[in-house]
Chains A and B, each alone.
Chain A
Amino acid sequence: GDSVTQMEGPVTLSEEAFLTINCTYTATGYPSLFWYVQYPGEGLQLLLKATKADDKGSNKGFEATYRKETTSFHLEKGSVQVSDSAVYFCALLYGQNFVFGPGTRLSVLP
């Protein structure tokens, strides 16, 4: 079945450091790909998405490119802030339902 794999956390970075969170997927067909973020005590929020190969999703300084050849959708940000501390979930959508990865906790230290 469809699945999503993410790098294990927690990831701890200093403010202004470069962030990469790896995400790879297994799916039949060509799913849409997403990154969701979950701040403490809040629900999941859509961060960015890409619906076809080579699409780049971007939002709030975060970027991810849909790579069909490597079945990957790695999340990057050039300079993280303390306010980026949260849990990040990579997900695919095929049909009606999301399949989420296990999440990666990011802590950014001042």
Chain B
Amino acid sequence: GAGVSQSPRYKVAKRGQDVALRCDPISGHVSLFWYQQALGQGPEFLTYFQNEAQLDKSGLPSDRFFAERPEGSVSTLKIQRTQQEDSAVYLCASRPSGSYNEQFFGPGTRLTVL
């Protein structure tokens, strides 16, 4: 079956532009996670949804970062007024109900802010 997909795979933005990154989780997966992976580092947690409810957004680095999942499936991570330090790979992961341990990761969106 289809895995987690993300689009675009690559995004170049000029400093100050707004960007929107999309995540399509595995069909039927209840939980959805966003991570930020800086170059040469491990992924760091940004935010977590269960269905359409955003249950944890403690990892969002600033109020320029906003995530939504209005219908409990597709999610969008929006970054307003991008800065160079926002350059990273943004990973999305989904998890089925009843599973505690495993998250299924998408290929990521590489964002470069010039």
Which A residues are within 8 Å of any B CB, using their own CB? 4, 32, 34, 36, 41-46, 49, 51, 89, 91, 93, 96-103
Contacts A41-B107, A43-B91, A101-B42 given; 20 further ones with Cβ under 8 A? Answer: A32-B101, A42-B107, A43-B106, A43-B107, A43-B108, A44-B43, A44-B91, A51-B101, A89-B42, A89-B43, A93-B101, A96-B48, A97-B33, A97-B45, A98-B33, A98-B43, A98-B103, A100-B42, A102-B42, A103-B40
Q: Are A91 and B42 in contact (CB under 8 A)?
A: yes
B interface secondary structure, majority: loop
Would you list which residues of chain B between 41 and 94 have a CB under 8 Å from chain A? 41-45, 48, 55-56, 59, 91, 93
Which B residues are within 8 Å of any A CB, using their own CB? 3-4, 31, 33, 35, 40-45, 48, 55-56, 59, 91, 93, 101-103, 105-108
Enumerate chain B residues within 8 angstroms of A103, measured Cβ to Cβ.
Answer: 40-42
Q: Which 5 A-B pairs have the closest CB atoms?
A: A100-B42, A43-B105, A44-B105, A97-B45, A43-B107
Residue pairs across A and B with Cβ atoms less than 8 A apart, 10 shown, are A32-B101, A36-B105, A43-B3, A43-B106, A45-B105, A96-B33, A96-B48, A97-B59, A102-B40, A103-B42
Enumerate chain A residues within 8 angstroms of B106, measured Cβ to Cβ.
Answer: 43
B111 to chain A, nearest CB (A): 16
Enumerate chain B residues within 8 angstroms of A89, measured Cβ to Cβ.
Answer: 42-43
Q: Are B101 and A49 in contact (CB under 8 A)?
A: yes
Enumerate chain B residues within 8 angstroms of A102, measured Cβ to Cβ.
Answer: 40-42
By beta carbon, the residue of chain B nearest A32 is B101
B26 to chain A, nearest CB (A): 12
User: Assuming A96-B48, A97-B48, is B42 touching A43 (CB within 8 A)?
Assistant: no
User: Assuming A32-B101, A97-B33, A98-B103, is B4 touching A43 (CB within 8 A)?
Assistant: yes
Enumerate chain A residues within 8 angstroms of B108, measured Cβ to Cβ.
Answer: 43
